[in-house]
Chains A and B, each alone.
Chain A
Amino acid sequence: MFKKEYKNNFAYRFATKFLLLVSSFAAVLAVTEARSEGQIFKHRLSNGLEIVVKPDHRSPVAAVMVWYRAGSIDEVGGTTGIAHLLEHMMFQGTETLAPGEHAKKIAATGGRSNAFTSTDYTGYLQELHSSELELAIQLEADRMRNLLLQDEEFNNELRVVMEERRQRVDDNPRGLLMEQLASAMYVSHPYRNPIVGWMNDLENLTIQDAADWYDRWYVPNNAALVIAGDVETDEVVRLAEKYFGVIKEKQLPVRKPQEEPRRLGNRTVTVKANTTMMSQIQAYAVPKLKDVAKDWEPYALYLLAGVLDGHAAARLHKRMVLEERIAHSVSVSYDGLGRGPGAFYVSYSPVGGGKLSDLDNSWKDEIARLVQDGVSETELSLVKAQVIAGQVFSSDSVLGQANRMGRMWAIGFEPDAPEAINEKLRLITPEEVQKVAAKYLVNAETVTAVLEPKTSK
């Protein structure tokens, strides 16, 4: 929910189904295969390109993705939005393909193509009949090396991206709130900047900025080819060698850590927008997952979020929405899988004309209670039941499987890390959940963003 991704294509809505590419970190943490039909296969080409394949022969389809470890976190002063803009440009032609032709070639087979940019990475995807595997690999290899940046297309996409910004942020109270929250959370770390870019930065981006970005990050040793579906690993490796193998590796720029300084007190930011509903989101600084085998706090934090808001009977919804009837909605999530800092969020909006302060009190009281009385084994087992079922449910889509592996790679873990993560989650005890609640949610320096109705003029 909070690690937003921006897509290239506003995939059109037929009837009521809408393409929604929101990625919640929490989702990734919990979703893995309970029993995989095929093992995850890994291979690295001599130019550094990682290859990850998960065969799944249920249906004659394949999800073919290329991930680059480059997102808004890598942007430098005055060029916010360039990672996302370049993602748009990747559809605008290469030395041998006209603008838009990539998508047309995929569509001609009945396949779908799209892309997304997040704080931490940029990803490209083709979902198509498995007999078209070679086409997808060939097209991806082509644009890794031969992108043609042209003024007319660049200027046009810049206008498109500005419309995208207006749509997602400027005209969307929730979008504004999230943007302002991130800016208030980080004074130094680049997570403070919106993925889509600040409008003034967009206005001043140049085609040279795009070229620099492409040269810097779009190299095989900063990328992974990730495929799930009805494919054979030998064939994937053969095609990858054939098309990507000829691309030369290149030294990557040094990535500065840009660690966020410690918070010295609470911060609050207010956003006024065209809305009738007050709402608030509060962020706590918490550790992220670094070492899958040794860490335990991130798993406990994840389950803590689950105890509070992980299923229909979880504590906060029950208390604030159903019983006290003071909240219209409430949500808790833990964001601990990323290249940047971790965070724990709680957000809510009052029902009717209610006051936010009542909700604050209720939230604080619930945390105090949890810290004092702990969590029962039964209560924790309900959360773990969601994890276990989620492992199975999430294997239903090949695109989902590819996405999960690619994302793990992009943020620095093994593509099959989710399996180990799930095992660790099952071992977490009620006491550990209680401990992280006490350590990170009590007397913590928080950052709060409040959404208020704009007073009419």
Chain B
Amino acid sequence: MLSNIKYHFTSLHWYFRVLTVLTFSYSSLTFGQTREQWVTESGTKVIFVQSVNLPMVDIVVDFSAGAAFDPPGKEGLARLTMRMLDKGTPENDEHAIAARLAATGSQMGGNFDLDRSGVSLRSLSYEETLATSVRLFTEVLSQPNFPQSVVDREKEALITSIRERNTRPASVASRALSEALFGQHPYRSSGAGTETTIQSLTVDDLVYFHERFYRASNASITIVGNLTLKSAESIARQLSENLPVGVSERESLEVTTPVSSQQEIVIPHDTEQAHIRIGMVGIQRGDPDHLPLVLGNQILGGGGMTSILYDELREKRGMTYGVGSYFNPLRDPGPFVISFQTKQEQAWEALDITTEILKNFIDNGPNAKQVDQAKRYFIGAFALNVDSNGELLNYYSNINFYDLPLNYIDSFSDRVTAVTVDQIKDAIKRRMSLDKAVSVIVGPAKLLDEPNG
């Protein structure tokens, strides 16, 4: 289930959220009234938000154990560890785990990125259902036993996926960009691994990774739903005290993020459209320029069908179905990326236009009207970003994982209001530059030979 999350019976396939950067706020929270934060005796940070309107509970346990923590040469270990959690414990094999979960109607899921391995549970809140689900959830988080033959099978599945991914131009483009931006920093790898590194993974590697990274003090637990504070405390304690113990610090990276330098990468690939990326190393969580820059990005390439890139490339020129840009702020500075695809014949023209737009944006910044619109969008959009239990879980798990203040969102609209045009222009000028920009273009070989063709 963690590797193969199925929604057939449970939800409309509507993922409509762009929870970006923890940056929306509103003055009154109309649901999620009770909100508490504490640390368990075992050292796990907890946030609980009560939401009583639906008989359900969402829990996510985030470990500082993302792709960036893969040991060199063992890329793919973090992801395989997460995938293996529900594939066997001393008490239950994978079939028993699956059957027990199915009987409750609950769902487990995984959310894996560069910084974290996040494992989630969604259950009905009826006492017995919830207790059974949480027991099973605790068991898979704390006692996976990585049966050799299952590990072999899952490694083969990962390798099959890697081979397939290598045929996809979007994957090829993204990987090339990350490698060029991040040099030797672990953010260069998405954590998928290569055939060679996956092949090299052993049961001992998995045991090591789990022992070291799935520690109570390396975890944060976020709970949203229809339960009392007392029940939430009890669930958090149960989850936390069963996790491996060890050193009490959280894992962190000890590498400095590089500054990217200007580069153009051209990769021939069997594809209809050319896939284009422009990126540079961006910002980290808690960066003082965070808010000005994400507001700036909203104007350049953010959502809402109103951005400069959308207007210029799609509305004016019909060059692409979708174009946009984002900052991905991580524990260390993450990437800023512009991305789109266009028919091969106009790839170079589209890249030139986009580069020119970016240059102009960095040089001149947005105008007062654009900034006003972006601010109103951010403030107005807040209600939409916390209008369901699923949204609240996302929001608060980010606050929890990245150690942001609990009232971060309450003060948000004031902070957005306070940002000035000059602050945005200044932040863009200091933090963004074409000298740092890496361009990647993936497309058919015949068109890539002649950059001016």
Binding site for B on A (CB under 8 A): 9-24, 26-28, 30-31, 34-35, 37, 58-61, 91, 99-100, 103-104, 106-113, 127-129, 155-164, 166-167, 170-171, 274-277, 305-306, 309-314, 317-318, 321-322, 325, 328-329, 333, 351-352, 381-383, 385-390, 392-400, 403-404, 454
Evaluate whether A110 and B13 lie within 8 angstroms (CB atoms) in the complex, with A60-B383, A322-B94 already known. no
Binding site for A on B (CB under 8 A): 1, 4, 6-21, 30-31, 51, 53-56, 86, 94-95, 97-99, 101-107, 111, 113, 122-124, 153, 156-157, 159-161, 163-164, 166-167, 169, 270-273, 301-306, 311, 314-326, 328, 341-343, 373, 376-384, 386-390
Asked if B306 and A318 sit within 8 Å, CB to CB, the answer is: no
Asked if B383 and A61 sit within 8 Å, CB to CB, the answer is: yes
Asked if B21 and A112 sit within 8 Å, CB to CB, the answer is: no
Considering the chains assembled together, what is the distance between the CA atoms of A58 and B390 in angstroms? 13
CB distance from A424 to the nearest CB of B (A): 15
- List 15 contacting pairs A-B, 8 Å CB cutoff, sorted by A: A20-B15, A27-B9, A59-B31, A157-B318, A166-B273, A167-B321, A276-B166, A311-B102, A312-B101, A318-B98, A325-B156, A383-B9, A390-B9, A393-B11, A400-B12
CB distance from A420 to the nearest CB of B (A): 17
Partner of B315, one of A100, A163, A317, A352: A100
Asked if A107 and B384 sit within 8 Å, CB to CB, the answer is: no
Considering the chains assembled together, what is the distance between the CA atoms of A128 and B51 in angstroms? 21
For B311, what are the chain A residues with a Cβ–Cβ distance below 8 Å?
A: 100
* Closest A residue by C-beta to B341: A167
Considering the chains assembled together, what is the distance between the CA atoms of A192 and B7 in angstroms? 27
For A103, what are the chain B residues with a Cβ–Cβ distance below 8 Å?
A: 304-306
For B102, what are the chain A residues with a Cβ–Cβ distance below 8 Å?
A: 311-314, 382, 385-386
Asked if B383 and A129 sit within 8 Å, CB to CB, the answer is: yes
For A11, what are the chain B residues with a Cβ–Cβ distance below 8 Å?
A: 16, 18, 303, 322
Considering the chains assembled together, what is the distance between the CA atoms of A157 and B123 in angstroms? 44
Asked if A328 and B157 sit within 8 Å, CB to CB, the answer is: yes
* Closest A residue by C-beta to B380: A110
The interface centre, meaning the residue of B30, B166, B302, B378 with most chain A CB atoms within 10 A of its CB, is B30
* Closest A residue by C-beta to B21: A14
* Closest B residue by C-beta to A8: B305
Asked if A276 and B382 sit within 8 Å, CB to CB, the answer is: no
Considering the chains assembled together, what is the distance between the CA atoms of A442 and B403 in angstroms? 57
* Closest A residue by C-beta to B101: A312
- 7 pairs of A and B residues whose beta carbons are closest in the complex: A110-B380, A10-B322, A12-B324, A389-B105, A159-B318, A313-B98, A107-B304
CB distance from B209 to the nearest CB of A (A): 21
Asked if A313 and B9 sit within 8 Å, CB to CB, the answer is: no
Partner of B16, one of A159, A352, A399: A399
CB distance from B108 to the nearest CB of A (A): 8
Considering the chains assembled together, what is the distance between the CA atoms of A314 and B8 in angstroms? 12
Evaluate whether A58 and B30 lie within 8 angstroms (CB atoms) in the complex, with A34-B55, A111-B381 already known. yes
Considering the chains assembled together, what is the distance between the CA atoms of A108 and B372 in angstroms? 9
